């Protein structure tokens, strides 16, 4: 049994991670300030003897004794991270500093939940870990993109300077139960709009592409990276390399739900990437990981979840 800290543990990904870690027999401390996370996501874990919940903001230091740290704390959708961009940057940067300081003090292994947004609007396709990206440092998405890039810098400087055991994981689009219904991401947007019979909004002509990884696959990759040999620091892409246009996704959701929603088009937001697809060669080679859930099956499970919460 390990003592494991999960920051952002009441969020979409964090709650699934806490569930998996407890099922594996570990003692889990879930930390969240509930900006985007919800107690509802972890309510079923509250009575478990090996689960503890703490309300805390990672921009402030935390003093606990743990063996591993999964640093997931940060709003991850444009709607949420652009609501308070200064706080978003502080969460990524100050949060990383505080969690790295904790890991150094207690000699814990620490994993950073980074993002495919470090690649920006890429000129390389698919994106591999050696690509440095094409990011606007002063745009409306920069609080998240550059915050995560700076967090990666901090992780590798702590590894070089203090020999801290680090893991850096670049997460590509992930979907599944417990997504926030108003997070502005395409999967949740399309499902909620289709269930309500509302127009489905596509930005641009819908030809931009994304790759969608089901949450169970993503969490499996995250745990495998944490448990990998010390020299496997990353960064490592974790995502599903299956590539779909946004228009195709919208049509897929309408068909699965049997909705009469119509598709309407709005202007493309600033700095919205045109292509996003992970090269997962490193994950396959170093972690023996690759996604197993097909988009159709994952969407059906996600639709079932949203049916239960959307009026």
CATH number at residue 137: 3.40.50.720
Is residue 248, in this structure, part of any structural domain at all? no
Q: What is the C-alpha separation between 45 and 22, in angstroms, rounded?
A: 9
What is the span of the domain harbouring residue 231?
3-172+215-239+278-291
Q: What pLDDT is attached to residue 20?
A: 98
Contacts of 23 (CB under 8 A, 6+ apart): none
Q: What is the C-alpha separation between 97 and 43, in angstroms, rounded?
A: 29
Q: What is the C-alpha separation between 52 and 71, in angstroms, rounded?
A: 16
Find the distance separating the first CA and the last CA of the chain, reported in whole Å: 41
Residues 36 and 9 sit within 8 Å (Cβ to Cβ): no
Burial track 28-52 (b if 16+ CB lie within 10 A, e otherwise) = bbbbbbebbbeeebbeebeeeeebb
Q: What is the C-alpha separation between 15 and 9, in angstroms, rounded?
A: 5
Residues of the chain with pLDDT under 70: 270-271, 311
Q: What is the tens place of the pLDDT at every residue in 144-198?
A: 999 999 999 999 999 999 999 999 999 999 999 999 988 888 999 999 999 999 9
Give the C-alpha distances (Å, rounded to integers) separating 9 from 42, 52, 201, 300.
Answer: 8, 10, 30, 25
Is residue 306, in this structure, part of any structural domain at all? no
Residues 117 and 143 sit within 8 Å (Cβ to Cβ): no
Residues 255 and 104 sit within 8 Å (Cβ to Cβ): no
**6 burial via Cβ count (<10 Å: 0-12, 13-18, 19+):** buried
Q: What pLDDT is attached to residue 271?
A: 63
Q: What is the C-alpha separation between 259 and 251, in angstroms, rounded?
A: 10
Helix segments in the chain, DSSP class H? 12-23, 39-42, 78-81, 85-106, 142-162, 186-195, 215-226, 246-257, 281-287, 295-309
Q: What pLDDT is attached to residue 168?
A: 98
Is residue 126, in this structure, part of any structural domain at all? yes
C-alpha torsion angle, residues 257, 263, 266, 270 (rounded to 10) = 40
Q: What pLDDT is attached to residue 311?
A: 63
Is residue 206, in this structure, part of any structural domain at all? no
Give the C-alpha distances (Å, rounded to integers) separating 191 from 7, 14, 105, 131.
Answer: 28, 22, 44, 33
What are the catalytic residues? 144
Is residue 252, in this structure, part of any structural domain at all? no
Is residue 271, in this structure, part of any structural domain at all? no
Q: How far is CA 31 from the centre of its chain?
A: 16
Q: What pLDDT is attached to residue 157?
A: 98
Is residue 298, in this structure, part of any structural domain at all? no
Residue (of 248, 242, 263, 256) closest to 299 by Cα position: 256
Question: For tokens 């939940």, what's the residue?
Answer: 113
Q: How many domains are contained in the chain?
A: 1
Is residue 38, in this structure, part of any structural domain at all? yes
Q: What pLDDT is attached to residue 124?
A: 92
């Amino acid at each position: 049994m390990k003592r494991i800290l999960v920051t952002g543990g009441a969020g979409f990904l964090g709650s699934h991670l806490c569930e998996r870690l407890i099922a594996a027999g570990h003692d889990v401390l879930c930390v969240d300030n509930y900006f985007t996370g919800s107690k509802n996501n972890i309510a079923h874990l509250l009575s478990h003897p090996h689960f503890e919940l703490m309300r805390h903001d990672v921009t402030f230091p935390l003093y606990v004794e743990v063996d591993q740290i999964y640093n997931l704390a940060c709003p991850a959708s444009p709607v949420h991270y652009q609501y308070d961009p200064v706080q978003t940057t502080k969460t990524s940067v100050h949060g990383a500093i505080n969690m790295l300081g904790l890991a150094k003090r207690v000699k814990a292994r620490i994993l950073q939940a980074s993002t495919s947004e470090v690649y920006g609007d890429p000129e390389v396709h698919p994106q591999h870990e050696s690509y440095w990206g094409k990011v606007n440092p002063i745009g409306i998405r920069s609080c998240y993109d550059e915050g995560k890039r700076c967090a990666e810098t901090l992780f590798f400087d702590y590894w070089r300077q203090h020999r801290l055991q680090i893991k850096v994981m670049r997460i590509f689009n992930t979907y599944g139960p417990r997504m926030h219904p108003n997070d502005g991401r395409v999967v949740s947007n399309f499902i909620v709009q289709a269930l309500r019979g509302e127009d489905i909004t596509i930005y641009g002509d819908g030809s931009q592409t994304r790759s969608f990884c089901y949450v169970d696959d993503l969490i499996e990759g995250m745990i495998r990276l944490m448990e990998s040999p010390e020299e496997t620091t990353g960064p490592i892409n974790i995502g599903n390399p299956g590539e779909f246009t946004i228009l195709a996704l919208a049509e897929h959701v309408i068909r699965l739900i049997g909705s009469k929603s119509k598709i309407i088009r709005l202007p493309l937001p600033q700095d919205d990437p045109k292509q996003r697809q992970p090269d997962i060669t490193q994950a396959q080679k170093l972690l023996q990981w690759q996604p197993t859930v097909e988009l159709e099956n994952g969407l059906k499970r996600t639709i079932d979840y949203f049916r239960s919460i959307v009026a």
